[in-house]
Structure formats: C-alpha cells, structure tokens
Amino acid sequence: MDDLFTPDRLRAALGGRPFRFFERVGSTQDIARDWALADPPAPEGAVVIAEEQTAGRGRQGRRWIAPPGSALLFSVIARPALPPEHLQRATMAAGLALSDTLTPLLGAAFALKWPNDGVIHGRKVCGILSEATWLGDRLAAVVVGIGLNVRVDFVGTDLAASATSLEAELRHAVDRAALLAELLAHLDRWLARAPDPAIVAAWRARLGTLGERVTVYPVSVQEPRPLFTGVAVDVDEAGALLVRLETGEVRRVLAGEVMLSGQHTG
C-alpha cells in the first residue's frame, strides 16, 4: 500500500496539532528534544514524525530501523506534572494509548510486555522510548517516542520469530495517518491522567507479562547470561517488575531485559 506521508496529508489527519515532518532523519527523539528546548519551546503535544530514521533508537540504545512507508515513527513532546520518581508513567501512558488503539483491532492477541513493548501473539510490534529533558534541575519536557511496525516485512530475516507487523496480523491494509491520529488522541488522554496513581493499575491490567515465568538478564551486555528466573507477579508504583523466585523471595527489577519462557535474547 502506497500511503507515504506528506505535510498536507498529516495536517488533514492531525488537525491543529503542531507537528514537524521529515522524510528522513537521524532520530525523531533528538529533533523533538531540541524543539522542546527551543525559544519559544514547542507547545504541549507537538509531534515530530518521520518516514525513515537512520539513527532511530529503542531502549538500551538499540537501533530501530524501518523502510519508508512501513511504520509509524514519531516523538511527542509532553509536560506531565510528574516528580522524577514517577516519570515511568509517561511510558505507561504510551503503552495504554497503544492498547486502546490496537486492542479493538486485535483483541486478546495484543498485549503490553514489560517495560515498554507491545506484542501480538508474543512477537514485538511496537516499542516505546521515554526520555526526560532537563534545564538544570527543572524538567523541561518528556519526549515520548513510539515506533509501530505497520507493514515491515520480517519474512526471511533473523527477526521473523520475534517481530511482526500490524498488517501481517490483520491481513488487510491500514491507513497510517488515521492510525496516527487515533493513537495521539489516546496518548493525550493518558498523559493528562499520568499524575493520578490509578494509571499504574490501568497499566498493570494490560501487562501480558504478569503471571508468566520470566528470565531476567542484565542491561547492555553483548552476550547476556541470565541473572535469575521466576514468575512475574506484579509491578510497583514506580513501574518496577516484581519477580517471585522458586525460594519465595520477591526481587524488584527496575532495569533489565525480561524474556518470557521459551523466548531468546537478541
């Protein structure tokens, strides 16, 4: 399906929302951060959209690459009234917005995977990266980046077993501009609710990771070896995952790689 974005097409879909569109950039996160710090700064809810990123990144510095026209790649400038210890709620808001957008299309096949992925039948379809931008000790903005595979073709690649695309699962074409507009509307709503502790319960309810046997790996290790295995039983107010070991001990995982039983790192 040829539905490459244009400024006019995006303007029609997004209405009065401020946006900057690029056919090819390094990273929408970097552009959004600079816009958030500009004089005058970007307004709340402004979004940077790209058809292709050459240096897109995910959690732990991983690269996010998708050919033009195959994904939604964007970063939203948010200013939620959150203390530093609750900034993970921006990622929760993005996950809930993705769930609100994709669950009506996919039903129970879609779930959130702790801490920042969306999966369809266990295969990754989208990722979230939230980054705080500071001016001295003042929070200037939180840049919420989302990458959603719409029609990335993973057939024959080493990611075929672990990644998928929306159209491949739905078996029909998707209007990316309409999907983007709906996703942003849900994100606005959840970001506005981020200061309310109830957002944690809402996010918890949609985490497919809970109740599953998981293996926890260290962060940013080339050839990671598992730290421990247990059952993911809950998340706390800061978004940390609580894993119960066979001994009964519960360990708190704030940063790390969590793989469900039967999956492999990479």
Closest CA to 233 of 207, 194, 199: 207
Asked whether 251 and 261 are in contact (CB, 8 A), the reply is: no
Residue for token digits 């793989």?
A: 259
Q: In angstroms, what CA-CA distances link 142 with 37, 62, 178, 190?
A: 11, 19, 24, 14
Convert the pLDDT of each residue in 21-76 to its tens digit. Answer: 999 999 999 999 999 999 999 999 999 999 998 876 554 445 556 788 999 999 99
pLDDT at 88: 94
pLDDT at 55: 72
| Alpha-helix runs per DSSP H in 55-109 | 88-106
pLDDT at 60: 46
Asked whether 120 and 112 are in contact (CB, 8 A), the reply is: no
Domains defined along the chain, listed by start: 7-205 (3.30.930.10), 213-260 (2.30.30.100)
Q: What is the pTM of this model?
A: 0.92
pLDDT at 226: 83
Q: Which residues have C-beta within 8 Å of that of residue 85, sequence separation ≥ 6?
A: 238
pLDDT at 155: 84
pLDDT for 262 beyond 60: no
Lowest mean pLDDT among 2-16, 102-116, 199-213, 223-237: 223-237
With bands split at pLDDT 50, 70 and 90, how would you rate the model's confidence at 11? very high
With bands split at pLDDT 50, 70 and 90, how would you rate the model's confidence at 136? confident
Rg from Cα positions in the chain: 18
Q: Which residues have C-beta within 8 Å of that of residue 225, sequence separation ≥ 6?
A: 217, 218
CA distance linking residue 55 with residue 249, whole number of Å: 40
Provide, for the chain, the percentages of residues in helix, strand and coil under a 3-state DSSP scheme, each rounded to the nearest 5. Answer: 30, 30, 40
Average pLDDT, rounded, for the chain: 90
Q: Which residues have C-beta within 8 Å of that of residue 179, sequence separation ≥ 6?
A: 72, 101, 148, 150, 166
pLDDT at 265: 41
Convert the pLDDT of each residue in 178-204 to its tens digit. Answer: 999 999 999 999 999 999 999 999 999
CA distance linking residue 244 with residue 234, whole number of Å: 9
